[in-house]
Amino acid sequence: MSTATALTLVGGCAVITAVIKSTGPVALGGRELPPWFASIVAMMAPALFAALAVTQALADGRQLELGADTAGVTLAGVAVWRGASMVTAVLVAAVTTAALRAV
Amino acid sequence: MNKGFRAGVRAGLPFALAGGLLATSFGVLAIDVGMPGWTAVLMSAIVFAGSAQIAALGILGAGGGLGAALGAAALMNSRFLPIGLAFAPSLPGRPLSRAAQAQTVVDVSLVVAEDGKGGFDRGLLFGSTAIQYMTWVSGTAVGVLGGSILGDPEALGLDAIYPAFFVALLVGELRNDRAKGVAAAGALIALVLVPIAPPGIPVLAASAATLIGLRRREAEAT
């Protein structure tokens, strides 16, 4: 990849990300919002994290597939459920996945 | 704010450590697809959005064009439209100031910066993001410099780190039946859309699951 291509990618991604992140706070900022709004906000984390977890673990582009990483991620979920820390969980995921791929 | 900032740094530390590992895998991936190492570190420093960076790089690495890569990054970041709405009431000031503050919002902010009153604390937000930013940029540098020693990112299982990160975040959020229902609905919406929509859109659409929970709770209340 040429340096020019890489820098165009970096600059483009920076602008796109900044604009997307600014949109909500610039359009709505400082305005009082109705009580039900807080109720939706509280559910944003479970909805988005669940979607991010399953798509990152199961989707490869538009294909759904089970792989060594699916097993690693599942085991990481069990580890967290049983009280493991965030760092332990991601290490469990990586080590399990690597071990399954090595055999 | 200073006290909140320090509390935010402490609260953000576990996520920052895991994020550092993720950033390392991004650095390795960048070298793997032939990106000049310093531009990968620059990307982490000024884009600071893991899933978008990985998606854009994946497209270029697979031989896709620059436009497709930028489009993938935009779609992957589209979830920050609803997340931005969630943070909007908590970010005061003039539009330019609000836009600047909005840059500090990352996925983890949804849980770490919560003020327990339906909004977000700016001290916690800035503190937790500051420590994550440091490990994100330095982790990328480690991946870039060590990539050739570390070898193939897939063989090391580094691609499992990102989903595991979100699974760990999710488990901490499943505190009541409503959250569990919303999470299940969000996962289902995303999975159904994966085969028919470009990456990023399934996650954006999953934010609609927050409404399902709201309607059900209102129905229970009446």
In a domain, A91, yes or no: no
User: B148 and B103 in one domain?
Assistant: yes
User: B119 and B38 in one domain?
Assistant: yes
pLDDT for residue B154: 81
User: B179 and B71 in one domain?
Assistant: no
CA dihedral A9, A10, A16, A19 (to 10 degrees): -160
CA–CA distance, B88 with B122 (Å, rounded to integer): 11
Pairing mode, if any, of strands A63-64 and A59-60? antiparallel
User: B124 and B29 in one domain?
Assistant: yes
The answer to whether the CB atoms of A7 and B39 lie below 8 A apart is yes
User: B47 and B94 in one domain?
Assistant: yes
CA–CA distance, B31 with B11 (Å, rounded to integer): 32
CB interface of B with A, residues 170-189, below 8 Å = 170-174, 178-180, 182-187, 189
A67 inside 8 A of chain B by CB? no
Contact yes or no for A22/B102 (Cβ under 8 A)? yes
User: B155 and B202 in one domain?
Assistant: no
Contact yes or no for B207/A44 (Cβ under 8 A)? yes
Cβ neighbours of B70 in A, within 8 Å: 9, 12-13, 16
User: B121 and B33 in one domain?
Assistant: yes
Determine the distance in angstroms separating the CA of A41 from the nearest CA of chain B, rounded to an integer. 5
Query: Which residue is associated with the tokens 């970041």?
Result: B77
The answer to whether the Cα torsion of A52, A53, A54, A59 is positive or negative is positive
In a domain, A75, yes or no: no
In a domain, A89, yes or no: no
Cβ neighbours of A29 in B, within 8 Å: 88-89, 91-93, 95, 98
User: B145 and B185 in one domain?
Assistant: no
User: B15 and B65 in one domain?
Assistant: yes
pLDDT grade, residue A33 (50/70/90)?
Answer: confident
B211 inside 8 A of chain A by CB? yes
User: B215 and B184 in one domain?
Assistant: yes
In a domain, A11, yes or no: yes
In a domain, A70, yes or no: no
In a domain, A51, yes or no: no
In a domain, A23, yes or no: yes
pLDDT beyond 90 at A96: yes
- State the residue range of the domain holding A10: 1-31
User: B147 and B188 in one domain?
Assistant: no
The answer to whether the CB atoms of B164 and A55 lie below 8 A apart is no
The answer to whether the CB atoms of A30 and B207 lie below 8 A apart is no
pLDDT for residue B222: 46
pLDDT beyond 60 at A99: yes
- Select from B24, B38, B171, B207 the residue whose CB has the most chain A CBs within 10 Å, as the one to mutate to test that interface: B171
Helix (H) or strand (E) segment spanning residue B117: none
Q: How many domains does chain B fold into?
A: 2
Count the Cβ atoms, other than its own, within 10 Å of residue B222.
4
From B116, B131, B165, the end of a domain falls on B165
Q: How many domains does chain A fold into?
A: 1
User: B147 and B116 in one domain?
Assistant: yes
Amino acid at B162: Y
From B127, B144, B165, the end of a domain falls on B165
Amino acid at A3: T
B65 inside 8 A of chain A by CB? no
Question: What average pLDDT does this structure show over A77-89?
Answer: 93
From B165, B186, B212, the end of a domain falls on B165
B134 inside 8 A of chain A by CB? no
- State the residue range of the domain holding B209: 174-222
Determine the distance in angstroms separating the CA of B13 from the nearest CA of chain A, rounded to an integer. 10
Residue by residue, pLDDT tens for chain B (222 residues) are 688 999 999 999 999 998 998 899 899 989 988 999 999 999 999 999 988 999 899 888 888 889 999 999 999 899 999 999 999 999 999 999 999 999 999 999 999 999 988 899 999 999 999 999 999 999 999 999 987 787 777 888 888 988 999 999 999 889 899 999 999 999 999 999 999 998 889 999 999 999 876 755 555 554
